[in-house]
Chains A and B, each alone.
Chain A
């Protein structure tokens, strides 16, 4: 039966008034990790035949009325949403982008129940829905009107009594499945809790296994470039893995500690360029707000250039993730982790190894931090930053078995130092990437070159300012850390 026939049959039989038929395109928006769906909300970008566009926020779990906001374009970030929507969604969604998680085209036959005062008290939409490669379906969508629960229940009963209707998936679930994904499915592994008295090798195996699971969970997002944050998380899993391996080297077999090192380095390198370019795009976006409007054509060309380069880097990354080398690394690493847990006979406890790793990372960091002056070469400062991250990861990964108070204080201090070092190192990288880009591009417009030079000057100025501050910041960190170490029993 067609949607039209069904609407015509339902209207008189359950006391509904038909409205004019409309054609709409709906794009369901969510983060790649389904933050809205898991919170019980659905955001729909809906356009009709007259190109009127609305963003509709629906609640799947409460009786809240839909929030409908006119829009001129599809938002990609929650911060770009209009007022009421932004206030409600940005705290949940940011920094993840909003992506198309499912879409459909629908021919809608709206039916309304209207009371004696002319008030709509029930809404039923009969829709013919087309969705990707799935066969078109006819859907009857009962839309509750807030405050008219009794009528909604009656309407549901009346629809249930229709012999040829059966219960269907929620529209967003239907659209997402048609696109090949499962709504609400969070692929990231559950948070890891270690057993303080457990064997150290089991803890190391669990931590490394958890990072491998995280890597695999972010793989699809990194491969399909759905969300820059997924690539970022993918890289963090690599860095954490390498950090743990470096710190725990005496406890690991040669196979784990050395054989795979070059492979992890390779993976870190191929993910580095796309990530740097993602951040450079963000920097250009920030610059738009500060530079005069005359800079816009230059910024446009520059952004286009960075995005083109990002596309090339993505091709390299995708090919690598689809290749044998990456598959071999994952399989081999998993086997190595399994062997690690089985091999050692007297490995010590988890809390002992956690304290040992943190102490070692702290010593290494403090030694290097003490040597930094205003003239220290960039590579040496970069090394300090790597050691800082290494300590931070050790603190985070073994947090559940470390002394809570001391760990929190150390995490705070390390995070601050990481930010201080980041202010230096990130701008060094931006400078290098931008210079590289200009060297490899020819025929750029003078406006573009001018804007690029302005950006490079900004990066240089940030580097100089951060460098001046670094010795003091590092000295403060060393002082705090030494004082905290002295206080420990």
Chain B
């Protein structure tokens, strides 16, 4: 789950999609790479990793040792740590920084059907390492003109880099159909953008309530509009991943 911009509903989508994948009976791991630790907070796991970012990136401690079970079946988490704010520096000191996350995740491939990386908003060495480790980039966008420009920046960046290109899947997030601008952007972008998924996550109170319940929307309000939207989004993502 990636976006150059912050505040676009990235963590909420990461937590809910990971939860839905796990509910489907697929062993799922969510790695909270954002030093703010919002995903860890939402899943009630303390944002602390022994040895911090340095120990994991330098392979002093296996990533496996940082995994915590959550309160939900089939969903495990690698919690955030404040030291992730220096992840760029830690990566920079390794031999192949852009392949580092992929190499850390490889031993877990047999164990998990899905690994969701919840990334901090940035365009940095961490982002490049994430691109190198991912099969797909899920990019949430608030339906505004600025978001479309940000998506173009990301596409240009991906086109300009070497190595395998992850599949880009975009979706509208925090969409408010009462707003004319949102409606217009959603309607004009749809035919132009082949990466755009059908499902859109609305701006609803249930998504905001996640912080109070400290759980995925689909766990505490499974019949809500937001929960249905995340389910539709999960179906789209699962189908796109094949």
A and B: bona fide binding partners: yes
In the assembled complex, which residues on chain A have CB atoms less than 8 Å from the CB atom of B45? 117, 119
Chain B's closest residue to A148 (CB) is: B68
Beta-carbon contacts under 8 Å, B128-156 to A: none
In the assembled complex, which residues on chain B have CB atoms less than 8 Å from the CB atom of A120? 71
B67 and A147 form a contact (CB under 8 A): yes
Instruction: A117-B46, A145-B69, A146-B69 are known; give 8 further A-B pairs, CB within 8 A.
Output: A64-B111, A65-B69, A68-B74, A69-B25, A83-B24, A118-B44, A118-B71, A147-B66
CA distance A87 to B110 in the complex (A): 9
A119 and B44 form a contact (CB under 8 A): yes
Q: Is B81 located at the chain interface by the 8 A CB criterion?
A: no
Return 11 A-B CB contacts under 8 Å, by A number.
A65-B27, A69-B74, A82-B25, A83-B26, A84-B24, A84-B26, A119-B44, A119-B46, A145-B69, A146-B68, A148-B68
A67 and B25 form a contact (CB under 8 A): yes
In the assembled complex, which residues on chain A have CB atoms less than 8 Å from the CB atom of B110? 88
Decide yes or no: A65 and B76 within 8 Å by CB, A87-B113, A118-B214, A147-B69 being known contacts.
Answer: yes
CA distance A64 to B74 in the complex (A): 10
Q: Mark B76-109, 1 if CB is under 8 A from A, else 0.
A: 1000000000000000000000000000000000
Chain B, interface size category, equals 20 to 34
Chain B's closest residue to A120 (CB) is: B71
In the assembled complex, which residues on chain A have CB atoms less than 8 Å from the CB atom of B113? 83-84, 87
Q: Is A469 located at the chain interface by the 8 A CB criterion?
A: no
Q: Mark B1-43, 1 if CB is under 8 A from A, else 0.
A: 0000000000000000000000011110000000000000000
Q: Mark A64-91, 1 if CB is under 8 A from B, else 0.
A: 1111111000000000001111011000
Contact count A vs B, C-beta below 8 Å: 55
Q: In the complex, what's the smallest C-beta–C-beta distance from B176 to chain A, in angstroms? A: 31
Chain A's closest residue to B238 (CB) is: A83
- Interface on chain B toward A: helix, strand, loop, or mixed SS? loop
In the assembled complex, which residues on chain A have CB atoms less than 8 Å from the CB atom of B71? 118-120
Q: In the complex, what's the smallest C-beta–C-beta distance from B188 to chain A, in angstroms? A: 37
Chain A, interface size category, equals 20 to 34
Report which of B27, B46, B66, B70 forms a contact with A84, defined as CB distance below 8 A. B27
CA distance A69 to B26 in the complex (A): 8
The 7 A-B pairs at the shortest CB distance, nearest first, are namely A69-B25, A147-B68, A119-B44, A146-B69, A68-B73, A84-B26, A117-B44
In the assembled complex, which residues on chain B have CB atoms less than 8 Å from the CB atom of A83? 24-26, 113
CA distance A117 to B26 in the complex (A): 26
Chain B's closest residue to A119 (CB) is: B44
CA distance A69 to B110 in the complex (A): 17
CA distance A306 to B69 in the complex (A): 48
Q: In the complex, what's the smallest C-beta–C-beta distance from A57 to chain B, in angstroms? A: 9
Decide yes or no: A117 and B214 within 8 Å by CB, A68-B74, A145-B69, A147-B69 being known contacts.
Answer: yes
- Centre residue among B25, B46, B74, B110 by max chain A CB count within 10 A: B25
Chain A's closest residue to B110 (CB) is: A88
Q: Mark A45-74, 1 if CB is under 8 A from B, else 0.
A: 000000000000000000011111110000
Beta-carbon contacts under 8 Å, A207-236 to B: none
Q: In the complex, what's the smallest C-beta–C-beta distance from B105 to chain A, in angstroms? A: 16
Chain A's closest residue to B112 (CB) is: A84
CA distance A117 to B215 in the complex (A): 12
Beta-carbon contacts under 8 Å, A135-160 to B: 145-148
Decide yes or no: A84 and B67 within 8 Å by CB, A65-B74, A117-B46, A119-B45 being known contacts.
Answer: no
CA distance A67 to B75 in the complex (A): 9
In the assembled complex, which residues on chain B have CB atoms less than 8 Å from the CB atom of A146? 67-69, 76
Q: In the complex, what's the smallest C-beta–C-beta distance from B27 to chain A, in angstroms? A: 5
In the assembled complex, which residues on chain B have CB atoms less than 8 Å from the CB atom of A88? 110
In the assembled complex, which residues on chain A have CB atoms less than 8 Å from the CB atom of B69? 65, 145-148
